[in-house]
Amino acid sequence: MIIESKAPTRVDFAGSTLDIWPLYLFHPGAITLNAAISLYASCVIETHPAATTASNWFPATSSAKKVLPLSPRS
């Protein structure tokens, strides 16, 4: 399975990400100044060929997450 996503890049001039829930709940009256520009951030998530089920990734007897190596897309 392949999941691809992209979103416009946001430039924060003042206030950072205080306009995003739930951060604005902790800063009443905060003001932000930001803009979306015509550059996009993108991400591609692809299942690893060796992982056939979720149990291969997170065994019930292990508390550590198994990290699979990333390979470049061809």
- pLDDT of res. 4: 92
- pLDDT of res. 67: 53
| Whether this model's pTM surpasses 0.75 | no
Q: Is residue 70 domain-resident?
A: no
Using CA atoms in the order 55, 57, 59, 63, what is the torsion angle rounded to 10 degrees? -140
- pLDDT of res. 32: 86
Dihedral sign for Cα 45, 46, 50, 51, please.
positive
Q: Is residue 14 domain-resident?
A: yes
* Residue 10 belongs to domain spanning: 2-57
- pLDDT of res. 74: 47
Q: How many domains does the chain have?
A: 1
- pLDDT of res. 5: 93
- pLDDT of res. 68: 55
User: CA 29, CA 54: separation in Å to the nearest integer?
Assistant: 44
**Bond before 59 cis per omega within 30 degrees:** no
Task: For the chain, list residues with pLDDT below 70.
Answer: 51-74
User: CA 26, CA 38: separation in Å to the nearest integer?
Assistant: 31
